[in-house]
Chain A
């Protein structure tokens, strides 16, 4: 298990697991949803009972880049029984589809409801270096490409401007009957990503997807870090 970029570099790793990525984001001051790693079905059930339902289970595996597509994510599990079934099903899928992948366990986290899904991330341009990305989640980022970029280091003004720049900006103000999102919290995440990218030149790509945002703040529900 890796808890810092330096450690990962020292071990020559290219990818971090979701669990590791979230630990590192937490250290960088970015709010992350409580996430625990279970090594057995019983441990997963015990953790889920403690967290409170509904919960989310995800396969924790360094080689698995697209967890959802590979059947490695189970959302909205309402009780201990469902957790057990999901645990068995996901491990079975992994064993048949990706028998060579080494699985570290299964993460257990609370299911977040409400709020708006946004995405944030870091990438590197060959000429200008690190860039921070922001966008609305789901189809907005995947199909409409409604995202904005800024070169690192970001100023506070940059962070607010890149949030204002997206076409779907009105959705953050509660255009569909929800409470307006706390924009300051989003801006703070973008600024922290800028600091993180500056301090960790070894980070090639970073995704927070989704980042749940509501009127109280925001929290990272999944994360990915790719190293140089």
Chain B
């Protein structure tokens, strides 16, 4: 077996355990051992679940075993929540129970920078290696595989999807999944791998390349274990699947906190930019952009063109949308004559007034529906992509406005389903407060936003965010499709 094939098999087994032991499970609701057990019960894990704690008999109605070796059946995977000083003993027990892999949630190891902790992590790593046990972590959240109903945090969506994620940080692991889920993105497999004493980012990358359920790869990295190996692997992976990377620790202040955070040496960002650009990874510069990019890649086909048609939104909003699209690198192309001629049959004044982005208030005064224009654009070879703008600032009151918005969105969904052009939407201000959630305007916008997402339309919070993501997406697919450098 090739070394990479062996790693793929090991990680695939980790993502599909038939039984899980939670070592350090406890009744204390604030203990992590309790949390892991509770999360696995709540998410509906279907394999056998063995809590381990010498002081307890039963937790959450599940029988507790005093030690790993008291468990009658085989154990495929261990989640370790006990103090670092007991880990070496756990390794010995795991070896006797023929455990193949352990997730070390356990922290306070190399990430502290403390000399003794570094030595202990090194010893854990060596001992595990000698015993043939693979490690995830230490100092991480472990795995999330909705297909197997395994999660590492509460309330994570259990519907599987096609995004595989490699998230070095533990704290961001839940947040990334939750934020992306709000946009309709679903995950195939996610790992939070912390200090990477054993399995590291390159191993997981190799796995997600192989994994058929994963179509898009997302990474949050603070540093890498072996730069050259990572570089070469990433270069291979991006030829087949898009890899969206957010690198943490770019500023000097950030780089300092990285060392104390996950015990990895962050390279200077200039080198990271070089690497990511060179291998055609898709670079995200913030968490918000990471989620935007993920949304774009999840829902959009591999478009390579840049010409966008924008419909909806009032005057100023349309003008600004045009600016933001252009500045990000999309082309807000003029509306072709054929479309003007067609619409002029409905109202001849169209000839003077109609420009891209199309102002919804002008359309209203011409008695033309936004959807009519959108449909014309969908049929035209002059556009690669259509964008729906929302017009929250209409003068229509409540029911009339709701009906107006609903009808436009319904038509937009139809056009999206007809499939002649990809459709995106900029709908809903995400910054409303809890006291406004009952307001009819915001309620409508968020209901429409959810409807669009459910129908498979990528929804963004601003034109600028949408444009930045799409420009990067089109750039990636142009490279993926081009064979070699075209001079």
Contacts and interface: CB of A to CB of B under 8 A. Distances in A.
Interface of A: 125-129, 131, 149-151, 156-158, 160-161
> Quick one: which of A127, A129, A157 has the most chain B CB within 10 A?
A127
Nearest to A153: B232
B223 interface: yes
Interface in B255-271: 265, 267-268, 270-271
B485 A128 contact: no
Interface in B223-267: 223-224, 227-228, 231, 265, 267
B219 to A, nearest CB: 15
A128 B223 CA distance: 11
- Majority-rule SS of A interface residues: mixed
Contact of A128 (B227, B484, B487): B227
B485 A151 contact: no
Interface of B: 223-224, 227-228, 231, 265, 267-268, 270-271, 274-275, 278, 484-485, 487
A127 B271 CA distance: 9
Contacts of B275: 128, 151
A157 B227 contact: no
Given A150-B278, A151-B274, A125 B267 contact: yes
B450 to A, nearest CB: 42
A149 B268 CA distance: 13
Given A127-B224, A151-B231, A160 B265 contact: no
A73 B390 CA distance: 67
Given A150-B278, A151-B274, A158-B278, A127 B485 contact: no
A157 B485 contact: yes
B278 A160 contact: no
28 contacts: A125-B267, A125-B268, A125-B271, A126-B267, A127-B223, A127-B227, A127-B265, A128-B267, A129-B227, A129-B228, A131-B274, A149-B270, A149-B271, A149-B274, A150-B274, A150-B278, A151-B231, A151-B271, A151-B274, A151-B275, A156-B484, A156-B485, A157-B484, A157-B485, A158-B278, A160-B485, A160-B487, A161-B485
B234 to A, nearest CB: 10
B85 to A, nearest CB: 31
A127 B278 contact: no
Nearest to B226: A127
Contacts of A161: 278, 485
Given A127-B224, A129-B228, 19 more contacts: A125-B227, A125-B267, A126-B265, A126-B267, A127-B227, A127-B265, A127-B271, A128-B267, A131-B271, A149-B270, A149-B274, A150-B278, A151-B231, A151-B274, A151-B278, A156-B484, A156-B485, A158-B278, A161-B485
Contacts of B267: 125-128
B265 A128 contact: no
Contacts of A160: 485, 487
A226 B278 CA distance: 26
Q: Which 3 residue pairs are nearest across A and B when measured between Cβ atoms?
A: A157-B485, A128-B227, A127-B227
A218 B265 CA distance: 39
Nearest to B223: A127
